[in-house]
Amino acid sequence: MQQKKITIFDTTLRDGEQTPGCQLMPEQKIKIAQKLEALGVDVIEAGFPISSAGDFEAVQAIAQQIQSTTVCALSRAIEEDIKVAAEALKFAKFPRIHTGIGTSPTHMKYKLKASPEQIIERAVAAVSFAKKQVEDVEFYAEDAGRSDTVFLAKVIEAVIKAGATTVNIPDTTGYCLPNEYGHKIAYLKQNVKGIDQVIISAHCHNDLGLATANAIEAIKNGAEQIECTINGIGERAGNTAMEEVVMIINQHESLPFYTNIDTTKFAAISRLVANQMNMPVQANKAIIGSNAFAHSSGIHQDGIIKHRETYEIINPSSVGVETSSIVLTARSGRAALAFRAKEIGMTIEGKELDLAYQKFLIAADQQKVIQQDDLYQLLKTI
């Protein structure tokens, strides 16, 4: 089957950095940007230059350092924002300006206090102005998820005519169901003049836990770019997690897509982002959580010891995790105990194993996890 390339647009340093408490210093942003380039992302959204002098400096430094990846800066549909974004991107090899405006009834009425016609005018003016600064212009229709699809199509058609090269359809509030979001993308693909000349981008938020599902539904319906963050960090409940969408694409042969991401770097970059942003990853987070390849119940451990694929659909080494782990808890069985004992050079079988297991259960009922040292002490007495 012919496979289509999906552009990975990373917004860890912009939407991700909007997470409360996760703000980064310019040096930290540069460090992460370098790792994102090595990871193989196609676009790095480095920041929102007009928001502060520090962010301007960070975007400018990233633009100077990054060689092979597009560097993008965010702006509102305001000339001054766009000018400052262009200035920050001046030294980028591949600069992109990401500009846009709200298109939902709620945003138009309460935030922008503008009519639908005025919104189209402002959107077109912003894209035309950005196009004078750089060739690569991405337009975002903020809150597209709650926008009227027919009106959205009108806006998108107008900005394509004005020169947008990528059109971003954000589900800003994480509201859409996957079939609704997929339908929106399909509608644009079928009804907007010029849409085949541009890239449609999916930008999903996780307020209902649907950010990853919605991004996948988008590419199934014609989107060719996914906007995402490492560890799924971002405003409120976060954004689509890069490691999730990329691994879904890789694991499912029925999805005719590929990305340029070197997935073996996921574990390391996840740790880097968590440490720099002071934002620990939940243990049960898909792909990069500390429990993602940990097995603790007896039935699962027995299966894993016999063959890894009984309970794992991903080879841990493919995402940079050395190996699966067998965790000893009061739910573990004899097979796991014997396996872990062997790992520390102690072979136990038959009656010895029965005795060790009884002692182990008594200890495990009092302790959540039996660590290697505890295990060694316990087995020494057998």
Q: Which residues bind Zn ion (CB under 5 A)?
A: 15
* Phi, psi for 113 (deg, rounded to 5): 45, 55
Residue with smaller CB distance to Zn ion, 238 or 320: 238
What's the closest the beta carbon of residue 330 comes to ligand KIV, in angstroms?
44
Integer Cα distance of 113 and 90 in angstroms? 33
For residue 272, with 0-12 CB atoms within 10 Å meaning exposed, 13-18 middle and 19 or more buried, which class applies?
middle
Residue with smaller CB distance to ligand KIV, 70 or 168: 168
Residue with smaller CB distance to Zn ion, 15 or 157: 15
What's the closest the beta carbon of residue 15 comes to Zn ion, in angstroms?
4
Give the one entry of ligand KIV, Zn ion, none that residue 142 binds, where binding means its C-beta sits below a cut-off of 5 to 8 angstroms depending on kind. Answer: ligand KIV
What's the closest the beta carbon of residue 72 comes to ligand KIV, in angstroms?
10
Residue with smaller CB distance to ligand KIV, 22 or 294: 22
Give the one entry of ligand KIV, Zn ion, none that residue 140 binds, where binding means its C-beta sits below a cut-off of 5 to 8 angstroms depending on kind. Answer: ligand KIV
What's the closest the beta carbon of residue 50 comes to ligand KIV, in angstroms?
13
Give the one entry of Zn ion, ligand KIV, none that residue 10 binds, where binding means its C-beta sits below a cut-off of 5 to 8 angstroms depending on kind. Answer: none
Residue with smaller CB distance to Zn ion, 48 or 129: 48
In the complex, the residues that contact ligand KIV under the rule CB under 6 A are 15, 140, 142, 168, 170, 172, 203, 205
Contact status, residue 78 vs residue 51, Cβ threshold 8 Å = no
What's the closest the beta carbon of residue 176 comes to Zn ion, in angstroms?
13
Give the one entry of Zn ion, ligand KIV, none that residue 332 binds, where binding means its C-beta sits below a cut-off of 5 to 8 angstroms depending on kind. Answer: none
* Phi, psi for 180 (deg, rounded to 5): -70, -45
Question: Which residue's Cβ lies closest to Zn ion?
Answer: 15
Residue with smaller CB distance to ligand KIV, 146 or 265: 146
What's the closest the beta carbon of residue 203 comes to Zn ion, in angstroms?
6
Contact status, residue 133 vs residue 159, Cβ threshold 8 Å = no
Integer Cα distance of 279 and 298 in angstroms? 32
Residue with smaller CB distance to Zn ion, 15 or 42: 15
What's the closest the beta carbon of residue 313 comes to Zn ion, in angstroms?
29
Contact status, residue 36 vs residue 44, Cβ threshold 8 Å = yes
Dihedral of the alpha carbons of 137, 143, 145, 148, in degrees to the nearest 10: -100
